Amino acid sequence: MTPAPTSPARPLAFIILAAGKGTRMRSEMPKVLHRVAGVPMVGHALAAARALEPERIVVVVGPGMPEVEATVAPHPTVVQHSQAGTGDAVRAARGALEGFFGDVIVLFGDTPLVTPATLGALRAARDAAEDPAVVVLGMRPRDPGAYGRLVANGRGELEAIVEYLDATEAQRAITLCNAGLMAFDGARMWQLLDAIGNANAKGEYYLTDAVTVARSRGFACRVVEAAEEEVVGVNSRADLAEAERLLQARLRRQAMEAGATLTDPGTVWFSADTRVGRDVVIGPNTFFGPGVEIGDRVEIRGFCHFEGVRIAAGAQIGPFARLRPGAEIGPDAHIGNFVEIKNARIEQGAKVNHLSYVGDARVGAKANIGAGTITCNYDGFLKSHTDIGAGAFIGSNTALVAPIAVGDGAIVGAGSVLTQDVPAQALAVARGRQRVIEDWAISFRKRKEAEKAARRK
């Protein structure tokens, strides 16, 4: 990721607009809480803002949005009661920025892909020689469509924002369009916003009109450009899917640039907080939920699902493994096909290679867990712990009924159901004694053939 430009000495504040109901989402959940790469959209906006180490962040919410308030905590929220446009939304934050005269950047909780570098560029543009009162973020979309056009000169000085319906044919030919985000001089911001009117078809106060007000008072304005993909706004489920597609492409690219191999990048899905080390190989159709850390030289053999997991260097995982929250996979450990690990520590060099469930447990270094092994950790009321010592060997098709401990170096015979601890270096076998009756199968078949013949008569 490109680093943000060097920050000026002035203090910085952010206003994040998150009051929209998102009617087109057809959802009971506030729009900004819908997730992209595992994180609510407003969380992406907050993360980008925090990267610039601002003095204040204020989030504007609508009435009755406690879920949004809880998500953005501890940052303060203010309520936009009237829902009368973006200018009205920003004015709702006035009290929270009382006495603040630094730079103020306004961004949107439903624009999750903006980067700290772009926000830093917005702020840096405030240092231009003409001392701009407003800096607007622009873009050059492949299809300018009905976007507002930014009328600017070759020096980046912004003369006007013209809405598409009001634009002349010459202005509609302009490819530089309004992306919505803006940076203000906090010392002049409120006088500009107070002068915005609502004499328009919707009767709303548009934040973009701040440019017109600033220019009418002789204040300079500037424009900074960003890539179209970075300023995608989300107003529908289709927009949400597009934002997910774009962010996944970014995350895949970042992982590969950091030294990971993705054998089929388009089928690997990351969360925004996924951490992947160097020389990691990730096979196809792998999903990373929130809270996953992958160490160096890990091999993931595809069709795996991870969430809340730490995997240490050199481990081999999959294919078709599911690692659930609390799983800790140690260095050089092996987790194989159709294995599920939950809230368990698999220590260095241990192997759980086939068709097993290990939950609420510790598997010691270099222990081997046979196919079909289950840690029976839940009795319908409480969960209990299973402890398997270093170097232990658990035979196939074994059920370990927790709470239970298997000592270092112990061996458990295949097909056992254990309910008591096993001492170190001991053998434990818990199954019915085998009985062999010579030639029984011959008499069995004769009897059954006779029964079958009798039924035909």
The residues carrying an active-site annotation are 354
Q: Angle at the Cα of 87 (from 86 to 90), degrees rounded to 5?
A: 85
Contact 280, 294 (CB under 8 A): yes
Alpha carbon of residue 66 to chain centroid: 21
SS3 readout for the chain: CCCCCCCCCCCEEEEEECCCCCHHHCCCCCHHHCEECCEEHHHHHHHHHHCCCCCEEEEEECCCCHHHHHHHCCCCEEECCCCCCHHHHHHCCCHHHCCCCCEEEEEECCCCCCCHHHHHHHHHHCCCCCCCCEEEEEECCCCCCCCCEEEECCCCEEEEEECHHHCCHHHHCCCCEEEEEEEEEHHHHHHHHHCCCCCCCCCCCCCCHHHHHHHHCCCCEEEEECCHHHHCCCCCHHHHHHHHHHHHHHHHHHHHHCCCEECCHHHCECCCCCEECCCCEECCCCEECCCCEECCCCEECCCCEECCEEECCCCEECCCCEECCCEEECCCCEEEECCEEEEEEECCCCEEEECCEEEEEEECCCCEECCCCEEECECCCCECCEEECCCCEECCCCEEECCEEECCCCEECCCCEECCCECCCCEECCCCCCCCCCCHHHHHHHHHHHHHHHHHC
CA torsion, points 86, 91, 97, 99, in degrees to nearest 10?
Answer: 140
User: Using CA of residue 66, residue 76, residue 275, residue 33, what is the dihedral sign?
Assistant: positive
Measured CA to CA, the distance from residue 331 to residue 64 in angstroms comes to 48
Measured CA to CA, the distance from residue 151 to residue 222 in angstroms comes to 10
